[in-house]
Amino acid sequence: MTPSAKEEPMSVDVAPPAVVQRRRDAERTRAELLDVATDEFAQRGYSGARVDEIANRTRTTKRMIYYYFGGKEQLYLAVLERAYAEIRRAERTVDVDHLDPVAAVRRLAEVTFDHHEAHPAFIQLVGVENAQQAKHMAHVARLVDLNSSAVAVLHGVLARGRAAGVFRADVDALDVHMMISSFCFFRVANRHTFGALFDRDLLDPARRTHYRTMLGDLVTGYLRL
């Protein structure tokens, strides 16, 4: 390069403000459609849900829904994927590496307890999909990775517990995941039938701490030597 030569400034691709705004609007519209679709599928099931109703509730059109998702089935799959991604995201935000194995398992159980209580639509969606033998979930490839990561976290904690001599050696991470999920799912899904039979509201705030502690005791009690 000669002394008189000047370096060309590096070009940086910056989207015009109008393009950025359109992207934000599209993301906002897509999120709103997923919110309403989640409620529609949870309340009415896959067969009973209507794209027209989702369009009406979001003040948009079926054509717009098809533009974003491709159709009813694709919209339902997107709802399922987001629902599972949310609970996996909640689990990943919990730092259990600094906790001893017993406290770590208890904390992971509490995360599921809190999430299921706060997201009853998730419980309904799981019920909807089970009623259909999970035929749609089988097509959501990312769900496998999402749920594998959840079990992997448990696997690591259980390995630490075995190494520390506090957990049994014959423990399977998937079994522990099932135990935690079963308790949390039953408490929300069977709230009304259980209440009708035994006159006890499983979501009664006065008993929340009792059930949350009970779950931790059940899981850690099963794991201990």
Give the Cα separation of 219 and 222 in Å (integer). 5
Q: What is the pLDDT of residues 94-120, one digit of tens each?
A: 889 999 999 999 999 999 999 999 999
Whole-number pLDDT of residue 23: 66
| Per-residue confidence band for 138, with pLDDT thresholds at 50, 70 and 90 | confident
Whole-number pLDDT of residue 155: 94
Residue 10 clears pLDDT 90, i.e. is over it: no
In the chain, the amino acid numbered 91 is E
User: Buried b / exposed e across 167-181, counting CB within 10 Å, b at 16+?
Assistant: beeebebeebbebbb
Kindly report the pTM of this predicted structure: 0.85
Name the one residue in this structure whose structure tokens are 């995941």: 177
